[in-house]
Copies of this chain bind each other. A is one copy, B any other.
């Protein structure tokens, strides 16, 4: 047996959407594309699947190259397969999105990629169908984060409740009542209060919390409810 005869063989790409949060707004990591076509344009970090690796392996490899980081939150988004999506050659691309703690990102490791964080509102036009990928990823993140605690992946190991609230408000582009928000997140049992305070944001200082990993894994799949009136927000 020598394989499937008469079937097309297609270049299989991956594209990685890396999201981070700087305390103010949700950002995406883009690079200046270093090869043709569209060389020099802002683009998602991508690559091609090798014959002996899965797409997950390929994504992790590319993400390691770009960010220097291992083991980040990574989720398959969608496979894009329009025959004309890449003008150079027919390719199929599976997009993955990653959520990372922006502070862990090490600029020096990837100076060769000219990587840069862009607030989603001020993102440049992207090549091919990557604009669509970003929109789909945002939708997915909003959808999933309304029910599951994925946004913690964007925060450092310890964080304050006001920081967490700012993150949710930024992702959903909304304002949440802080009394209700605090009750809501504490009710999940996912947060453990620490003794110390973060004094950087205010005179009084806000207590640090960290994620209760036990509960985190146990409740990850449960339908929590982090967002008031999600129905009205997510279109």
Contacts and interface: CB of A to CB of B under 8 A. Distances in A.
A116 to B, nearest CB: 25
Interface string A84-121: 00001111101000000000000000000000000000
Contacts of A4: 11, 48, 88-89, 91
Nearest to A85: B54
Interface residues of A, number: 41
B83 A55 contact: no
A88 B3 CA distance: 5
Interface majority SS (helix, strand, loop, mixed), chain A: loop
Given A81-B56, A89-B4, A230 B223 contact: yes
User: How many copies of this chain?
Assistant: 2
B12 A48 contact: no
A135 to B, nearest CB: 14
A78 interface: yes
A36 interface: yes
A37 B1 contact: yes
A231 B147 CA distance: 10
B222 A231 contact: yes
11 contacts: A7-B11, A7-B48, A8-B11, A9-B9, A12-B92, A51-B83, A54-B83, A221-B235, A222-B234, A223-B230, A223-B234
Nearest to A37: B1
